Amino acid sequence: MFFVMRRRSKQLFRKYLVLIAIGLFAVIYFAMRVYSPVSSPVKFVVNSGDTVTAVASRLDKQKLVISDMAFKFAIRFRGGAVQSGDYEIPAGASVWRIAGMLSRGKIATIKVVIPEGLTILQIKDLLAASSDLTGDVECSGIRDWGAVCDLADGDVFPDTYYVARGTSRLAVLDLARKKMQDIKNNWIRTRRNPPAPLRGWDDVITLASIVQRETPKTSEMKIVASVYLNRLRKGMRLQADPTVIYALTDGYGDMRGEPLLRGHLKIDSPYNTYRNAGLPPAPIANVGSHAIRAVLEPADTKYLYFVADGKGGHKFSNDYETHLKNHADWREIKKQNNPNIDFENNN
């Protein structure tokens, strides 16, 4: 009887040990993998040379982990080291998840959107306004940046770029420059001839920049491109308003709410396609793939004219008489929108 009771006691003791172990595992699992004191996204920086102990202490002081010991324990299982960088710890991140982010170097990334049709000056203003980027947009006093220091319109590719928070503004510009250079190199490798009378890549991008600024509608771009190519083939001046705006604003490309008036079309500039035949000397904006494709694959039309329709698109015409009628309609729309401006007599 004594030995039976003793055997049962050992069995019960083992069961209790198993239950205690399971309980401890559950507590550790909850503390490491589930529980989080992080109530909202927090920026956290690991500097170069920071030790695990120093990082754990700061995380604990900022109440981002349940304890510094828990973080060090998690890091040990994650490889035993942290990587420097700017991190964004999301709400609800557990000790285990934070340890994973810092051990793998999963730094915070930001989305930088460079819209199509902006000039270099406008893009630089856009990047300068981002608090998530660092450094200047100009190269003065900065060495070893090379081609990005001499950017001209048409040199960068508008796109969405994902970069680490804290990336320099020049690095973003260089990223966009390299992407456009890759697109140019790919086109050159195809040995594809542009539509006449364009002579090469520079002509393609210059005309694409005008198309880009003329219409926001990708569905219209090939038609707009066809109009300008038809005019070039006939020796007609392009008479593109965006080229005048580029000249008037010293390359900025934005009238800042001011209307373009008839008198502006007389500005003496090589970019004024009302006064000068052919293409302007260089692109007037940075272009996307739709505008480039529109110039390389224009619509098959006989259109020579187009004018805004007041609805975000354009009316196209083959002859000048129809164009005059369409232009009169557009003039009425402008009068309604700007009743204090005399568009007929303002020179």
* CATH architecture designation of domain 29-104: 2-Layer Sandwich (3.30)
CA gap 135, 137 in Å, rounded: 7
Chain region(s) in the chain for CATH 3.30.1490: 29-104
- Binning pLDDT at 50, 70 and 90, where does residue 345 land? very low
CA gap 242, 104 in Å, rounded: 48
Query: H/E element holding 305?
Result: strand 305-308
CA 176 to chain CA centroid, Å, is 9
Helix, strand, or coil (residue 46):
strand
For residue 337, the model assigns a pLDDT of 72
How far CA 182 is from CA of 146, 201, 290, 293, in Å, comes to 17, 13, 16, 16
3-state secondary structure 175-226: HHHHHHHHHHHHHHHHCCCCCCCCCCHHHHHHHHHHHHHHCCCHHHHHHHHH
Provide the whole-model pTM: 0.80
Higher pLDDT, 259 or 231: 231
Q: At residue 103, does pLDDT exceed 60?
A: yes
Helix, strand, or coil (residue 162):
strand
For residue 21, the model assigns a pLDDT of 55
Q: Give, to the nearest 10 degrees, the angle between helix 289-296 and helix 218-233.
A: 40
Q: At residue 187, does pLDDT exceed 80?
A: yes
Q: What is the pLDDT of residues 136-170, one digit of tens each?
A: 999 987 667 788 999 999 999 999 999 998 899 99
Query: H/E element holding 59?
Result: helix 52-61
Q: At residue 10, does pLDDT exceed 90?
A: no
For residue 19, the model assigns a pLDDT of 59
Higher pLDDT, 257 or 288: 288
For residue 9, the model assigns a pLDDT of 66
Cis peptide before 197 (omega within 30 of 0): yes
154 backbone φψ class: left, alpha, beta (φ>0; ψ -120 to 50):
left
